[in-house]
Amino acid sequence: MNCNLCPHECNAMREQTSFGFCRSHWLPGIASICIHKGEEPVISGEKGIVNVFFTHCNLQCTYCQNRQISNNKISDELSLISIENAVDEIIKLLTPDISLIGFVSPSHHIDAMEKIVYGLHQKGFYPRVVYNSNGYDKISTLKRIENIVDIYLPDYKYADSDLGFELSKVIEYPLIALKALKEMYRQKGSALITDDNGYAISGMIIRHLVLPGYLDNTMQILENIAWEISTGVHLSLMSQYNPQFYHGSNPNLLRKVSQEEYDSAIAFKESLGIYKGWTQELVSNDFYNPDFTLDHPFESSST
Ligand code: SF4
């Protein structure tokens, strides 16, 4: 079976002799399975979510905070894991208090994600599934996972194709991501349904990271959400861009987002009628600094 899972459509065999853009084997490369706190309150709350961090990615963002594991040049031999072992590792972390499992950067590991979810079901575990992607997803693949995903948590990064190519090495991100988000919205709508403890049961939350020097991009993103998707959708507007992870030469990206830029983004989204969701404190860019060489990648950060 050749791989055309994501919009790259590499038709790759995903074996030693033929890898696609993501350079991933069919077996899942998993850098970490851990309890993660500090995300949106309906996702992780005080108890946390069991997150599965896949290695490699179908984008190559030059400022990725997970670059240790998302870089497609790294070998995945050490992180390849069987579905059975992944299921067992997840079960060790699932407690009655933790109702959600998040698949982080899953777009190139949809097959593995499906098998892990079915493996959990076979062992009597039915956590709600969060699909935490970069937004570079294919419609047919999203339709395929419609019945196993409970909450979509996609990024919406760029409204400018040139910016997407410069910073994430992909073409036509704006067009592809907007179509993908519309499909997710078709499946889930605006309602974010929560349980008695305030954790998400079903819905969609769009994340957008404000980039320093690119307020125009943010404003176009916000207009697209308001006009092409819905003002009723939940938006997580993020200020946590951290230049320490950037490895390019664009001078705009060598600093953090300013308070003025972030305040302007918040004011603009509200002027469009987007009120549901979350914003961050500007100091949040000091808090989200995972180290995937540790057993728990986030234990050195404040989250
Ligand atoms: S998942 Fe990987 S191999 Fe498959 S189409 Fe996407 S980038 Fe190519």
Please indicate whether residue 79 or residue 209 has the higher confidence score (pLDDT): 209
**Ligand 1 geometric centre to CA of 173 (Å):** 15
Positive/negative CA dihedral, 199, 93, 298, 80 = negative
Q: Is the pLDDT of residue 94 over 80?
A: yes
Structural domain spans, the chain: 30-286
What's the confidence (pLDDT) of residue 2?
93
As a whole-number percent, the residues of the chain with pLDDT over 70 amount to 93
Inter-residue contact 105 to 134 (CB < 8 Å)? yes
What global pTM score does this model have? 0.94
What's the confidence (pLDDT) of residue 45?
83
In angstroms, the CA 204 to CA 257 distance is 26
In angstroms, the CA 101 to CA 131 distance is 9
Contacts of 168-176 spanning 24+ positions with Cβ under 8 A: 168/59, 168/60, 168/61, 168/62, 168/134, 169/59, 169/60, 170/7, 170/8, 170/58, 170/59, 170/60, 170/136, 172/7, 173/59, 173/135, 173/136, 176/7, 176/135, 176/136, 176/137, 176/138
As a whole-number percent, the residues of the chain with pLDDT over 90 amount to 80
List pocket residues of ligand 1, CB cut-off 6 Å.
3-6, 8-10, 12, 14, 20-22, 24, 58, 108
Least confident interval from 3-17, 80-94, 274-288: 274-288
What's the confidence (pLDDT) of residue 242?
94
Q: Is the pLDDT of residue 36 over 50?
A: yes
Q: Which of 46, 56, 119 is nearest to 89 (CA)?
A: 119
Q: Regarding the domain delimited by 30-286, which CATH topology (the fold level of the hierarchy) does it fall under? A: TIM Barrel (3.20.20)
What's the confidence (pLDDT) of residue 39?
84
In angstroms, the CA 204 to CA 181 distance is 9
What's the confidence (pLDDT) of residue 69?
87
In angstroms, the CA 182 to CA 190 distance is 11
**Ligand 1 geometric centre to CA of 283 (Å):** 35
What ranges make up the beta strands (E) of the chain? Answer: 30-36, 49-54, 100-104, 128-132, 151-152, 193-194, 200-209, 234-238, 277-278
Q: Is the pLDDT of residue 303 over 60?
A: no
For residue 110, which atom of ligand 1 is closest to its CA? 1
What's the confidence (pLDDT) of residue 285?
59
Inter-residue contact 57 to 21 (CB < 8 Å)? no
Please give the average per-residue pLDDT across 171-182, as a whole number: 97
Confidence of residue 74 (pLDDT cuts 50, 70, 90): confident
Average pLDDT, the chain: 92
For residue 11, which atom of ligand 1 is closest to its CA? 5
Confidence of residue 286 (pLDDT cuts 50, 70, 90): low
